[in-house]
Structure 1
Amino acid sequence: MLASISGLGAFLAYFATAAVLVAIYLVIYLLATAHDELALIRRGVTAAAIALGGSLIAFTLPLAVAIYNAQGLLDCAVWGLVALIVQMGVYWAVRATLPEMSRQIEAGESAPAVFLAAASLAAGVINAAAMTY
């Protein structure tokens, strides 16, 4: 039984590190967007949920790889921050490409939200693969 839970401390440390990184990501992402995703999601605007959900999954993909490959908690945190920077870059690139994106998402238009989610996921997959060093 004790052998089964011998890694519990490391699990908790990496899980807590990841949870903090996800929280930091969400705060930064929610502050960066020109629309209030959480308020829109509470009102049932699916487009906001698609955009935010896709971005969150896209951030956690490379974060999972960073945990898997990490040489320690600091290494994990550094690569988690790299994933955050990549995802914010994707958001700003899509926003520059679709300057009306926030207004469209607020209006419940799905096309820009799906494109943002797809671009975020594409970058997240590539980012995760690049972290397999």
Structure 2
Amino acid sequence: MELGLFTGFLGFFVTALLLVIVFLYLYAIVTPYDDYKLIFEENNLAASLGFGGAIIGVSIPLYSALVHSTSYLDFAIWGLIAILIQLIFAFIVTRLGGKYSFKDKVSNGVISVGILMAFLSISIGLLNAGSMSY
């Protein structure tokens, strides 16, 4: 095995992990509720499901960017675009009001809404990934 291939792998892999970490940080800022408090202190299953779906939702387009990129810079740019799309989606969905308020339902632990949030995030991730499969 060539050392260059391994260092290339490490560069892409570490960058992908860093992008996920950046996403986790920004996602918690974008949502109007405290994801980490709900999950780690209040054991809120709805928040955990929604957050887990968001992680999968951003990982899918990152995978697509890894597979289809023509260079490291190409991957980094498409990875940032993937994160931006997922964050915009989360911002919009969690701001819905009234009887469709994700903020209120997730904060109150309504599991069905957490599952819906997860599935919506994954769906947006799939559409995001498919759109960048140039």
TM-score by length of 1: 0.89
**Alignment match, 2:93:** 94
Looking at structure 2, the residues matched to 59 and 73 of structure 1 have their Cα atoms a distance apart, in angstroms, of: 18
Same amino acid, percent of matched pairs: 29
CA RMSD of aligned residues (A): 1.6
**Alignment match, 2:121:** 120
Looking at structure 2, the residues matched to 36 and 16 of structure 1 have their Cα atoms a distance apart, in angstroms, of: 27
Q: Which runs of 5+ in 2 are unaligned?
A: none
TM-score by length of 2: 0.88
Q: Which amino acid aligns with 1:35?
A: Y
**2:73 aligned with 1:74:** yes
**74-83 or 110-119, which deviates more:** 110-119
Looking at structure 2, the residues matched to 123 and 113 of structure 1 have their Cα atoms a distance apart, in angstroms, of: 15
**60-69 or 6-15, which deviates more:** 6-15
**2:131 aligned with 1:130:** yes
Looking at structure 1, the residues matched to 131 and 30 of structure 2 have their Cα atoms a distance apart, in angstroms, of: 25
Looking at structure 1, the residues matched to 67 and 33 of structure 2 have their Cα atoms a distance apart, in angstroms, of: 34
Q: 1:98 to 1:113 in 2, by over 3 A?
A: farther
Q: Structure 1 segments of 4 or more deviating over 6 A?
A: none
Looking at structure 2, the residues matched to 114 and 50 of structure 1 have their Cα atoms a distance apart, in angstroms, of: 6
**Alignment match, 1:46:** 45
Q: Which runs of 5+ in 1 are unaligned?
A: none
